[in-house]
Structure 1
Amino acid sequence: MRRPTQIKNSSEDLNVWQAFTDLMSNAFLIMSLFLLLAIVKSSLLTSNSKEKDQKIKGLELTVGSLKNEIERLKAPPVIVIKDSDRDAQGRSLKFETGKADLPEGLRIFIEGNVVEKLEEFSKVYQGYVVDVIGHTDGQETFNPASNLDQILEQVAQGNQPVKNLKPGSNADLGLMRSLAVVKKLQAIQEQGRLKGLKFRAYSAAQLFLPSGQYASQNRASDETRRRIEIRFTPPGVEQY
């Protein structure tokens, strides 16, 4: 009777070991699955973190570019040349009364300082137009024989010199002087500098003070009001 009993016990022992190995195998598979999930999750988190970093960096660059563009549009550069100014050698930059001929000091100042500034600004304000604005003080111009209506276009096209123009008002005189500066800049451009820039001449007559405010009626001589302003402005939409 012992032999069958031993066989029975051996069979029970064998069944317990098989159950144990099955349990361990299942546990190993479960642990492997959790480990795989952890690896995938970690990979996803790392990927998301990188993507977030890239998005944040991209956003920072975008915000920075927008700030720079806002500042650029809000405060375009202005070069102001006053009659009261002098160059480094002490030469006067002053126009003669009622005339638009460039004095030697102003001519040299334009060839050096102004051209250098324009080239510097043009790297940032690409495609902008350079406006040259002539201002005067409130002194009256006593010359009824203005000829701007007759030959202004010819002077602008270079067929006649600026000195042939005769002003009949401060508006005429401001335009003549701004045009003289434009013609000088265009001549320098023909020599290979100031490439790609477009120039336009305007007159503000005696309307504005250096502060930008409208001027009151004042016929006194004032060198600070007699000035040339050079501005970079966005190009307008051209109509065809």
Structure 2
Amino acid sequence: MKKRFKISSQKDHVTWMPMTDMLSSTLMITFLFIAVSTILRAMNAKPPIISLEDTEDYRFRTGSFILSQNFEDTLKAKAIPNIESTIKCYGIDTIEIVGHTDGRPSTPGGNIDMALVKGFEAKDMSKVIPGSNIDLGFLRAMAVQDKISNILTKRGVNNIGFRVLSAGSTINIDGRFSPAKNKDDKARRRIEIRFLRRSKTPFIPKCS
């Protein structure tokens, strides 16, 4: 009986060892697949879009692109912390700022093209006259970009490039091309802050 038991036990041992190795290998491959999938999913994650909608805090006077004191204060207190955390989380190196307007026509006779040729600075923007909603959206985006850039620099956030764009009154709030009608449309008036990573070096988001 003892001999039979020993033989049986030895056979079981011989049988179970390969099965254990196979199970370990399967688990290792599964965990590796999950880890790689998680990393790839994180690397492909897109940063959020920050939208400064036309509210009491983020409001331009009709036809104006000058930031009010309330606009600047709210931008610094609320938007900047989100911008900083997004930069760190996604390894952002470029910020794209897009100005949107409603469909009410702007005053004709703008001088933005001439001002750009002369290389005007933010401090000279009060002299610029937008001749269209595309102009107005661009100037509003530029005013926001100038303020964000200055604040980030003071906080030690450097090496960030900027793109300033204008969609005028052509893009609806859902992102579709849909020229606005000639009316007061609060939802259309907004500044969108988008985040880009142009570097080809792989980066895994560090969001907490």
The TM-score bracket by the shorter chain reads: 0.7 to 0.9
Aligned residue in 2 for 1:77: 48
Q: How many residues align?
A: 195
SS of equivalent residue, structure 1 residue 161: helix
- Name which one, 1 or 2, has greater alpha-carbon Rg: 1
| Aligned-residue identity in percent | 24
- State which of 37, 46, 59 in structure 2 corresponds to 1:63: 37
SS in 1 for 2:141: helix
- Of residues 92, 97, 122 in structure 1, which corresponds to 2:87? 122
Structure 2 Cα separation of the partners of residues 94 and 164 of structure 1: 20
Deviation at 1:224, TM superposition (A): 1.9
Partner secondary structure for residue 86 of structure 1: coil
| Contact 2:66–2:126, Cα closer than 8 Å, also in 1 | yes
Partner of 1:49: 23
Corresponding position: 1:134 with 2:99: yes
**Structure-1 separation of matches of 2:50 and 2:92:** 18
What's the TM-score, normalizing by structure 1? 0.69
Where structure 2 has 5 or more consecutive residues not aligned to the other structure, the ranges are 201-208
| Larger CA deviation: 43-52 vs 221-230 | 43-52
8 A Cα contact 1:131 1:230, kept in partner:
yes
Contact 1:208 1:215 in 2 (8 A): yes
Q: Point out the more displaced range, 124-133 or 37-46.
A: 37-46
Distance 2:175 2:160 in 1: 26
Which position in structure 1 is the counterpart of 2:165? 202
Distance 2:39 2:118 in 1: 42
1:164 aligned partner, one-letter code: K
Q: Which residue of 1 aligns with 2:198?
A: 235
Q: CA deviation at 1:176?
A: 0.5
Q: TM-score of the superposition, structure 2-length normalised?
A: 0.79
Is the CA contact 2:97–2:165 (under 8 Å) kept in the aligned structure 1?
A: yes
**Which amino acid in the other structure matches residue 94 of structure 2?**
V
Matched, 1:164 2:127: yes
* TM-aligned CA distance change 1:216 to 1:206, over 3 Å: closer
The question of whether the paired residues in 1 share the 8 Å contact of 2:96 and 2:165 is answered with: yes
Runs of 4+ in 1 over 6 A off after TM superposition: none
> What residue is the counterpart of 2:114 in the other structure?
149
For structure 1, the residue ranges without an aligned partner over 5 or more in a row are 1-27, 88-92
Give, in angstroms, the shift of residue 184 of structure 1: 0.5
**Quick one: which amino acid aligns to residue 52 of structure 2?**
I
The answer (yes or no) to whether the contact 1:162–1:179 under 8 Å persists in 2 is no
2:139 aligned partner: 176
- Aligned-partner Cα distance in 1 for 2:68–2:117: 21
CA offset at residue 186 of structure 1?
0.9
Tell me: CA distance 1:192–1:216, structure 2 relative to 1, closer, same or farther (3 Å).
closer
Pick closer, same or farther for the CA change 1:131–1:153 going to 2, 3 Å: farther
Bigger Cα displacement from structure 2, 110-119 vs 140-149 = 140-149
Aligned CA distance change for structure 1 residues 147 and 123 (closer, same or farther; 3 Å): closer
Whether contact under 8 Å (2:101, 2:168) holds in the other structure is: yes
Return the letter of the residue paired with 2:112.
N
